Amino acid sequence: MLNYIITSLLIIIILLIISILHLQRNEQFSFFNDINTTDVDKIERAKIFCKIWKKNPNVNPETQKEIDVTKPTYNSIKNICDDVRFQVPEYTGVLKLLHELRIDDNIYPENEYDRNYFYSGWYMMKDNCTVRDNVLSRESKNPILETMYENGSKCTVEDGLWKNIYTGQGTGNILVASDIDIDHMVPLKNAWISGAYRWNKNQLVAYANDMTPGHLKAISKESNRSKSDKSPFFWMPEPVSEWCKYVADWIAVKHRWDLSVTSYEKDKLINILNNNCNGVNIAEPSAPTSYRGVNLDKSVNYPERLMSYHSDDDLYKRIALYRKYNSVCNNPTKLQQESSNINKYFNTHKKLYGIYNPNSPSNKNKYNSDKDKCNLLASPLPNWAY
């Protein structure tokens, strides 16, 4: 009888040890409980885990604890992160920027768009000339003829020499400024449905008057009407020789202002870069923090991508919140218990989800309830993380 009791106790102890080890393994290695998963979200989370782990193999990105390289956990992580399914391709230059853009195929109500949200006229710069006049002056191949008003308040560019780069008449020149339109590389309406709908007035005005090279172009009125508010999926310049520069500028603007692309738009941009731009040297654009003539007010919440790049810390805040609330939002009891934390996290981390102004017309009444805020915190990981 005693032997039976001792044997039973030993079995129970062994089972407890196995359970503890299993729990520890789950805590340290929870992304990979199901190594053969076909769940797209789990695979993408695994990619992010491995991407960050490879930067510092001695630390578990999930727990931020050191990993003993002599223990099985280290080898398990290494084996999984060597799996081709969890590899993140290393892109450089413009392709790198493109793959960091958010993908959003949602259709936003276009009837909310109004061009006057962005501006009612061109911004007046420090030289007493408008942004339009400065773009015309910058892009003219010959010295310009301009009119300065007597009070010095503003000037108007009248004549110059501008290349008609977006039409098949690549050598055609435009001599009269009144025949020129200033094209927003990413049109205002496209910017609106790609994320600008959540900006405040200061952000919209800054975008419309952004003098960063590649953002505003002096083009013919005909080209501007033809392009209208179309993305590269629907419209490209007629000369193929202009395509590489065009898509590079398009991607740079969207990246700088944290605007999304549709999956179709992204595929088209990738195809152009791969098929038309191999061997073409396209410089990776920088991300400025100020613009000539448009001073960015530091108290204004400008798009995160414009001011700085998302860090791994930002990424893991989202991963932590996703894991914390993924099973809470549809459970009324848990939702009530977490109410104060949900509101706290929403208020402190809403920018990570692209919510810069919860009271804007597009966001109004969208995040009134705890469940709405919880669903935001538990939303899938951002594409800029991949």
- Within-domain flag for 17: yes
**Structural domain contains residue 95:** no
Percent helix, strand, coil in the chain, to 5, is: 50, 10, 40
Last residue of a domain, one of 281, 305, 329: 305
CA atoms of 316 and 95, how far apart (whole Å): 24
How many other CB atoms are there within 10 angstroms of residue 275's CB atom? 9
**Are 281 and 262 in the same domain?**
yes
* Residue 202 within a domain: yes
Query: CB–CB of 232/247 below 8 Å?
Result: yes
Mean per-residue pLDDT, 46-62: 76
Give the DSSP letter of residue 283.
P
- Asked whether the predicted pLDDT for residue 359 surpasses 60, the reply is yes
Q: What is the pLDDT of residues 231-256, one digit of tens each?
A: 999 999 988 888 988 999 999 899 88
What residues does 148 pair with on adjacent strands?
155
Q: Domain check: are 124 and 21 in the same one?
A: no
Q: Which residue range forms the structural domain that includes residue 380?
A: 310-385
Q: Look at 152 and 22; give whichever has higher pLDDT.
A: 152
| Span 266-299, pLDDT tens digits | 999 999 988 888 766 665 554 443 333 344 444 4
Count of C-beta atoms within a 10 Å radius of residue 4? 8
Residues 162 and 237 in one domain: yes
Tell me how crowded residue 11 is: count the other CB atoms within 10 A of its CB: 10
Nearest to residue 56, comparing CAs of 44, 46, 69? 69
Domain's final residue, options 305, 340, 360: 305
Phi-psi region of 107 (alpha: psi -120 to 50; beta: other; left: phi over 0): beta
Output the pTM of the full model.
0.58
According to the per-residue pLDDT averaged within each range, which of 69-78, 117-126, 224-233, 325-334 is highest?
224-233
Name the amino acid, one letter, at 177.
Answer: A
For 254-271, b/e burial (b = at least 16 CB within 10 A) is: bbbbbbbbbeebbebbee
- In angstroms, the CA 228 to CA 237 distance is 12
Under a CB-based contact definition with an 8 Å cutoff, are residues 163 and 145 in contact?
no
Q: Is residue 366 assigned to a domain?
A: yes
Are residues 186 and 80 both part of a single domain? no
pLDDT of residue 33: 55
In terms of C-beta distances under 8 Å and separation of at least 24 residues, what long-range contacts does 113-121 make, across chains too?
113/188, 113/189, 113/192, 113/193, 113/197, 115/188, 115/189, 117/192, 117/201, 117/204, 118/188, 118/204, 118/205, 118/207, 118/208, 119/204, 119/205, 119/208, 119/209
Q: What is the DSSP letter of 297?
A: P
- Token digits for 377? 């915190």
Residue 158: inside a domain, yes or no?
A: yes
Residue 324: its H or E element: helix 312-325
Rounded CA-CA distance 366/9 in Å is: 56
Are 125 and 168 in a shared domain? Answer: yes
Last-in-domain residue among 43, 58, 86:
86
Whether 270 and 326 share a structural domain: no
Strand spans (E) along 164-254: 173-176, 180-184, 216-220
Question: Do 29 and 12 lie in a common domain?
Answer: yes
**Statement to judge: residues 154 and 292 lie in one domain:** yes
- pLDDT of 356 reads 63
For residue range 102-113, what is the model confidence (pLDDT) as tens digits? 888 876 666 678
Nearest to 124 by CA among 138, 139, 134: 134
- Please count the structural domains in the chain: 3
If asked whether residues 256 and 234 sit together in one domain, one would say yes
Give the residue among 173, 142, 148, 147 at the shortest CA–CA distance from 160: 142
Q: Is residue 91 part of a domain?
A: no
Q: What is the DSSP letter of 130?
A: B
Please list, residue by residue across 315-327, b when 16 or more beta carbons sit within 10 angstroms of its beta carbon and e when fewer do.
Answer: bbebbebbebbee
pLDDT beyond 90 at 327: no
Both tokens of 380, joined, read 């899938």
How many whole angstroms separate alpha carbon 61 and alpha carbon 50? 9
User: For all residues of the chain together, what is the average pLDDT?
Assistant: 75
Region for 136 from its dihedrals, namely left if φ exceeds 0, alpha if ψ lies in -120 to 50, beta otherwise: alpha
Mark whether 43 and 137 lie in a shared domain. Answer: no
Instruction: Say if residue 149 is in the same domain as residue 245.
Output: yes
Report the C-alpha gap between 250 and 185 in whole angstroms: 6
Could you tell me if residue 240 is inside a domain?
A: yes
Same domain? For 172 and 225 the reply is: yes
Q: Considering the domain boundaries, does residue 319 fall inside one?
A: yes
The mean pLDDT of 88-106, rounded to a whole number, is 79
